[in-house]
Amino acid sequence: MAQFVCKPGNNVRGMIRVPGDKSISHRSIILSSIAEGSSQISGFLQGEDSLNTIKAFQQMGVSIEREQDQVTVIGAGLHGLNKPVADLDMGNSGTAMRLLLGLLAGQAFDTRLIGDSSLSSRPMQRVIQPLQMMGALIESEPGGRAPLQIRGNSELHAIDYDMPVASAQVKSCLLLAGLYANGETVVREPAPTRDHSERMLRGFGCELSSHQSEIRVRGAQVLTARDVEVPADISSAAFFMVAASIADESEITLQHVGVNPTRTGVIDILKLMGANIELVNQRDIGGEPVADIRVTGARLKGIDIPLHLVPLAIDEFPVLFIAAACADGTTRLSGAEELRVKESDRIQVMADGLVTLGIEAQTQTGGIIIQGGELAGGEVESHGDHRIAMAFSVASLRAKDEIHINDCANVNTSFPGFVELARTAGIRISTNDQ
């Protein structure tokens, strides 16, 4: 139950590198574990979520050795996993639970997926339903919630599926299940989502086609081991992008950040608000575009956030709400119902915290209206949501008084070392154990 205590004021400066991308870290372990041969992963995120994915595959007999952010995986092949002797604990990670559900649906053995209280309250029906259409046998708690029991020896068949909600996790789950299905699985998404799974599947030798909103993969393909370099996580870099944008005389360079075009909505939104952001040293690393991101202080203005950018920035909205609170005028977000079913109800939790700090924030079913103003100090609740906790720590740069943020222990799930790096950059943050 750690508490962040953030003193007001200051700016951020320097050159920093945030930890590895969580989405890519998860996928690198999953695909290298079912590939044939030895894969070397560098830049792996050492957060609790990613480490739980390693533990899950070790429980299924995969040889995985890790030395800090360097990981060696000896793949077991598509059908080489073994029945785990205990439940697979996904901790706080919806990505891991949903992706593994697709992979485990095609195994010959029974498995049970569990998670912490937050993960156990989050909806899994969106992946259970299409997997059941493929022939998977899955039992859940009421409302399609974890724990999830997956019965082995299910003969999966390919489906042609139109996703009702834009979700990279659902898409990736079905593509993994498609590797174990008879025939060609077709998935269509209503709006573009992050495409790390498609890029990495191709990197491991999978034949996969994608055209506009349609992705196709056929079953029974052999994946071949490869080395993976994980770039720095743009979702983690976003906290410092906003920090530099809202604090006068700030200038920061974020190194080696993944700038996959399905993830750069946060940059596009901040630029529309007037942020000074420049991508330099752009290059391609293992199929993923990477750049250094240079940000300097700016006077932000409120905007109506374009609908097409919403799925491309879905994880970054907590800190974008802080940018909106510091902007001149009104910012409006709609079409973001997905934020209601993250680690917390991020629309309501952020609105409650902003109101506590003196900002006008009006919630809507799928969005929020924020009137820029002056941030006061106060005590806010993160509800155990790592991105909420980090977002309000950034707000302290423009606050009049101290901000105390409760229940921050889960920051380690996605951003180990956040407090130390934030201090290095100039955020005046400390921790208390409650």
Task: Please provide the DSSP assignment of 349-415 as one string.
Answer: HHHHHHHHTT-EEEEETTEEEEE---B--EEEE-TT-HHHHHHHHHHGGGBSS-EEEE--GGGGGT-
- What confidence tens digit (pLDDT) does each residue in 152-171 have? 988 999 999 999 988 999 99
Total number of domains constituting the chain: 2
State the average pLDDT over residues 197-204. 96
Q: Residue 354 — very low, low, confident or very high, per pLDDT cuts 50/70/90?
A: very high
Structure-token match 């209601």, residue found: 340
| SS3 of residue 97 by DSSP | helix
Q: What Cα–Cα distance (Å) separates residue 37 from each residue in 77, 124, 227, 421?
A: 8, 32, 11, 36
Domain boundary among 186, 214, 229: 229
- Are residues 12 and 42 located together in one domain of the fold? no
Running DSSP on this structure, what letter comes out for residue 338? Answer: G
Q: Choose among 339, 432, 351, 361: nearest CA to 392.
A: 351
- Are residues 9 and 67 located together in one domain of the fold? no
**Strand 330-333 relative to strand 367-371: parallel, antiparallel, unpaired?**
antiparallel
For the cut 60, the answer to whether the pLDDT of residue 434 exceeds it is: no
- Are residues 178 and 264 located together in one domain of the fold? no
- Are residues 383 and 235 located together in one domain of the fold? yes
Q: Residue 344 — very low, low, confident or very high, per pLDDT cuts 50/70/90?
A: very high
State the average pLDDT over residues 337-346. 93
Using an 8 Å Cβ cutoff, are 128 and 157 in contact?
no
- What confidence tens digit (pLDDT) does each residue in 255-299 have? 999 999 999 999 999 999 999 999 999 999 988 999 999 999 999
- Are residues 362 and 249 located together in one domain of the fold? yes
Q: Choose among 81, 130, 133, 132: nearest CA to 110.
A: 81
Distance CA 100, CA 264 (A): 26
CATH number of the domain within which 119 lies: 3.65.10.10
Domain boundary among 178, 201, 229: 229
Specify the amino acid at residue 131: L
- Are residues 193 and 309 located together in one domain of the fold? no
State the average pLDDT over residues 102-123. 95
**What local confidence, expressed as pLDDT, does residue 97 receive?**
97
Catalytic residue among 49, 233, 292, 315: 315
Distance CA 284, CA 408 (A): 35
Distance CA 322, CA 403 (A): 13
State the average pLDDT over residues 402-431. 95
- Are residues 54 and 111 located together in one domain of the fold? yes
Using an 8 Å Cβ cutoff, are 376 and 400 in contact?
yes
**What local confidence, expressed as pLDDT, does residue 413 receive?**
84
- Are residues 208 and 305 located together in one domain of the fold? no
Domain boundary among 191, 209, 229: 229
- Are residues 365 and 409 located together in one domain of the fold? yes
pTM tops 0.85: yes
Q: Mean pLDDT of all residues in the chain?
A: 96
Quote the domain boundaries for residue 235.
2-20+231-433
**What local confidence, expressed as pLDDT, does residue 1 receive?**
67
- Are residues 333 and 384 located together in one domain of the fold? yes
- What confidence tens digit (pLDDT) does each residue in 366-401 have? 999 999 999 999 999 999 999 999 999 999 999 999
Percent of all residues in the chain with a pLDDT value above 90, rounded to a whole number: 94
- Are residues 218 and 248 located together in one domain of the fold? no
For the cut 80, the answer to whether the pLDDT of residue 433 exceeds it is: no
- Are residues 321 and 348 located together in one domain of the fold? yes
345 is a catalytic site residue? no
